[in-house]
Amino acid sequence: MSVGEFDLIKRYFKQKTSLDESQSVASGVNVGIGDDCAILDIPDGYQLVVTTDSLVSGVHFFEDVCPYRLGYKSLAVNLSDLAAMGATPKWLSLAITLPNVDEQWLSEFSRGFFELANKYNVKLIGGDTTKGPLSITVSAKGIVPRNRALLRSGAQVGDLICVSGCLGDGALGLACKLGNQSVDNKSAFINALELTDPRNELGILLADYASSCIDISDGLVQDLQHILDASRCGAILAIDKLPLSQAMQLERNKQTLTVEQTLQYALTGGDDYELLFTISKRAYQQLCMHKAETTFSVVGEIVKDVEMKLKLTNGGQAVTAQYAGWDHFK
C-alpha cells in the first residue's frame, strides 16, 4: 500500500515526545503540527532569531549518503547558525522533497533528525513534503534576550580572535569521500564531516562575553573576512596557533598529510561548523573561568586597518601565501 503525504508526516515527522500539556505550553508551542500554521509564544524581553538552510543532493551531500547522518546534519548546520548568534534553539520547520517514498530511508532520516532535535529540546512545528529531486530545507528558530544577539559587526581593535574545537577535519573528510586525499584514519574525518556537533551551549555562553561571532561553514579565512568587513577592521591570524585534532596531527606526523595540506584544510575548509568569535582580553579572562564543555583557542587579534585586510603570520613572521574559502557559485 502506498503511503500518502499526510500518513508520511504522521509516521515519520510527528515528533515523539513525553511532554505533558504544561510542558508543551512551556515550550512556547501554542499550536503545532496539524493546522495551516504554527502559533508560537515568545517570552517577554526576548527576540526571535531565524535561520534557513537548504541541502541539495549532489551539491551538499552524496546521493548514497547514510540517511541517518543526513537527517542529523541537516539540522546540525541550522543549530550552528543559532549558536553563532548566541540564541537558544526552540523550534524547527522542515521542507523535504523526495523522489519516491522509501520507508526505510525515511525512518533512518527522521531518527537522525530527531535524535539531535531531542538533545537540544527543539520542537518540529511544521513544514512541507513534495515529490521531486531529493532536497532538504530546514528553518530553525531560537530566542535571545532583547538586543543581546551576537553579530558579525561588533569586533573592536585589540580584541582576541578565537575558535572553538579543532579545524579542518570536516574538509579532510570531504576530500577522503571524493577520493582526493588518502589517510590512514579516514573514518574519523568522515565522522567530523557528517556528524557535526553544533556549539549551542558555547554560543549561549558567548552572548555574555564575545563582541562578534560567526560559525565556520565556508572556511576560517573567508568567515573571518565576513567579520572584518562588517566590523570595518583588520586582523592578524597566527597560523601556528590553529587548533588541530589529534587525528589530524597524527596523520601529519606520519606524513600522510603535508604541513601545507594541513594548513589548507584548517584555513579554507568548510564544514567545520565551529564558532569563530572576537572578545576583549578582559572578557576572555572572565570567559576562561567558566567550565565550558567546548574548548576554544586564541588564534589572532583584531587590528586597525581601513582596508580591512587579513594578515597571516607563522611564529610572528609574515606569511605571503593566499588562501580562499568555499564559494557556492565558483
User: Is the pLDDT confidence value at 192 over 50?
Assistant: yes
- Mean pLDDT (the chain, rounded): 88
Per-residue model confidence as pLDDT tens digits over 196-250: 999 999 999 999 999 999 999 999 999 999 999 999 999 999 999 999 999 999 9
Helices (H), the chain: 5-12, 21-26, 67-84, 103-119, 169-178, 186-194, 200-206, 220-231, 246-253, 259-268, 281-287
pLDDT band at 329 (very low <50, low <70, confident <90, very high): very low
Give the pLDDT score at 145: 95
Average pLDDT over residues 66-80: 96
3-state helix, strand, coil in the chain (%, to 5): 35, 25, 40
The dihedral sign for the CA sequence 239, 240, 244, 250: positive
User: Is the pLDDT confidence value at 22 over 70?
Assistant: no
Average pLDDT over residues 148-164: 97
User: Is the pLDDT confidence value at 256 over 50?
Assistant: yes
* Residue 164 DSSP SS3: strand
Tell me whether the CATH fold assigned to 5-145 matches the one assigned to 160-319: no
User: Is the pLDDT confidence value at 147 over 80?
Assistant: yes
Give the pLDDT score at 23: 42
Per-residue model confidence as pLDDT tens digits over 167-177: 999 999 999 99
Say if residues 86 and 213 touch (Cβ distance below 8 Å): yes
Q: Which CATH superfamily is domain 5-145 in?
A: PurM-like, N-terminal domain (3.30.1330.10)
CATH dotted code for 160-319:
3.90.650.10
- Any idea of the CA torsion for 157, 163, 167, 171, to the nearest 10 degrees? -80
183 backbone φψ class: left, alpha, beta (φ>0; ψ -120 to 50): beta
Tell me the three cell numbers of residue 272.
Answer: 567545520
Average pLDDT over residues 109-114: 94
For the chain, the domains span 5-145, 160-319
Average pLDDT over residues 13-24: 49
User: Is the pLDDT confidence value at 2 over 60?
Assistant: no
More confident position, 1 or 95: 95
More confident position, 67 or 6: 67
Say if residues 98 and 131 touch (Cβ distance below 8 Å): yes
Average pLDDT over residues 80-105: 93
